[in-house]
């Protein structure tokens, strides 16, 4: 018997703003939905991996169990920037891979509030935001985009097209925060936050949760769960390797390239064999650079790739069919598992109007400031 690991149950709540609810309540809801998806209960789970960033010190995983059943199992609370949910998922995967458990529950949850993320200084001395450049996330990812412009001449319009595409995709996803078309002129004409990212090119701050039940092959067969099971072909996690500018300008490219390379090698396949991708479009500028980081096109061709529509639903390699972080929303700790949910749903052929026809292999990618990157490759069993 192999020690392959399968996603047997997964779900996410509709992303939105739920100020009256608590993070554990949100996480508990997704956990119960994922358990229901495979007909298991919390009594079946031997460990829980909980991803949450903003309440990382608060034992969110244990508080989720207070909502759904305190079975006494080990709980691991994970925080790893925007890779938080994916890291929780990976920890669960590793535990089964190692043969320690047969069934684990992975949950990601986050309550975001509103406003800009990031910014410099403040804890000691004087705030440096606006004095020594900008550390806000729209600015950090504006730098990422303009570096691509510097190298390849990528235009404001090409970046904006990412947002048009992902907002269009979200009209097909009832669990996305927004279901609203945003024509190119509307995206480009929206309030400029940090050039070239307008307001409609920034991900949506939402509350949300997603969960996945992972199972060993042996147990999945015993329980008769292989019919809708999705195999984890690869799980890669990286931190940013040294690059000369990364202290002043966070490098989301090198960390992603390393994760992608590791994942493709582990899966024994290349980007040409991937049928759909959920990647980290925290800002429109980010999606374009990740086309190249994930090997969807050659270096310098990302602008052309969005122009040709290859990454739209129906194109050669659909990207962020869920609506992505730009329109589905980005609850940091939940995002990584929500991506797993989206890919799993397509591989099962259950994605409804946004189904990528004949999808067999899908890839998820998240990268967080700091930097941390996680890439997972999934395959229908």
Q: What is the total count of residues that contact another protein (CB under 8 A)?
A: 34
Query: Considering Cα of 113, then 372, then 235, then 285, what sign does the dihedral take?
Result: positive
Tell me how crowded residue 241 is: count the other CB atoms within 10 A of its CB.
Answer: 12
Smallest distance, another protein to C-beta of residue 5, A: 33
Say which of 168, 330, 365, 376 is annotated catalytic: 330
Q: At what angle do helices 156-170 and 284-293 cross, to 10 degrees?
A: 100
168 as an active site residue: the answer is no
Rounded to the nearest angstrom, the gap between the alpha carbon of residue 188 and the centroid of all alpha carbons in its chain is: 25
Of 39, 74, 130, 268, the one binding another protein (CB under 8 A) is: 130
**Total H helices, total E strands in the chain:** 12, 11
Of 46, 62, 128, 304, the one binding another protein (CB under 8 A) is: 128
330 as an active site residue: the answer is yes
Helix-strand-coil split of the chain, %, nearest 5? 40, 20, 40
Of 58, 99, 121, 270, the one binding another protein (CB under 8 A) is: 121
Q: Does residue number 205 form part of the binding site for another protein (CB under 8 A)?
A: no
Task: Convert residues 143-172 into a mask of x (bound to another protein by CB under 8 A) and - (unbound).
Answer: x--xx--x----------------------
Of 50, 87, 109, 139, the one binding another protein (CB under 8 A) is: 139
Which positions from 350 through 369 interact with another protein, judged by CB under 8 A? Answer: none
Beta-sheet strand order (sheet of 47-51): 75-78, 47-51, 103-110, 208-216, 5-12, 230-239, 372-380, 361-368, 276-278
CA distances for 198 relative to 85, 176, 336, angstroms: 27, 20, 24
Of 155, 195, 298, 350, the one binding another protein (CB under 8 A) is: 195
Smallest distance, another protein to C-beta of residue 285, A: 10
Residues that bind another protein (CB under 8 A): 116, 119, 121, 125-134, 136, 138-139, 142-143, 146-147, 150, 191-196, 199, 242, 244-245, 247-249
Catalytic positions, please?
A: 82, 330
């Amino acid at each position: 018997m192999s020690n392959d690991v399968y996603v047997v149950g997964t779900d996410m709540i509709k992303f939105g703003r739920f100020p009256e609810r608590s993070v554990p309540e949100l996480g508990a809801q997704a956990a119960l939905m994922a358990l229901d998806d495979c007909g298991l209960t919390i009594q079946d789970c031997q460990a829980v991996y909980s991803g949450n960033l903003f309440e990382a010190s608060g034992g969110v995983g244990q508080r989720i169990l207070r909502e759904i059943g305190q079975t006494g199992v080990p709980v691991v609370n994970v925080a790893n920037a925007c890779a938080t949910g994916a890291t929780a998922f990976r920890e669960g995967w590793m535990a089964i891979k190692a043969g320690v458990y047969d069934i684990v529950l992975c949950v990601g949850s986050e309550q975001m509030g509103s406003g800009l993320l990031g910014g410099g200084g403040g804890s000691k001395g004087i705030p440096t935001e606006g004095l020594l450049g900008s550390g806000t996330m729209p600015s950090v990812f504006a730098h990422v985009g303009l570096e691509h412009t510097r190298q390849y001449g990528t235009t404001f319009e090409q970046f904006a097209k990412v947002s048009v595409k992902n907002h269009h995709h979200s009209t097909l996803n009832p669990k996305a925060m927004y279901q609203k078309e945003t024509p190119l002129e509307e995206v480009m004409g929206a309030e400029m936050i940090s050039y070239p990212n307008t307001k409609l090119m920034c991900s949506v701050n939402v509350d949300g949760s997603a969960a996945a039940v992972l199972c060993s092959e042996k147990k999945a067969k015993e329980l008769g769960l292989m019919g809708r099971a999705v195999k984890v072909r690869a799980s890669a996690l990286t931190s940013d390797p040294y690059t000369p500018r990364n202290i002043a300008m966070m490098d989301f490219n090198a960390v992603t390239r390393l994760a992608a390379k590791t994942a493709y090698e582990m899966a024994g396949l290349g980007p040409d064999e991937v049928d759909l991708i959920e990647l980290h479009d925290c800002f429109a500028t980010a999606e374009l650079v990740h086309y190249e980081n994930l090997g969807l096109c050659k270096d310098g061709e990302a602008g052309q790739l969005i122009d040709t529509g290859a990454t739209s639903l129906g194109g050669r390699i659909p990207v962020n069919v869920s609506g992505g972080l730009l329109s589905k929303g980005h609850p940091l700790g939940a995002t990584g598992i929500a991506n797993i949910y989206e890919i799993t749903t397509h591989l099962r052929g259950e994605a409804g109007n946004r189904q990528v026809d004949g999808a067999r292999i899908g890839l998820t990618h998240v990268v967080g400031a700091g930097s941390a990157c996680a890439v997972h490759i999934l395959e229908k069993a």
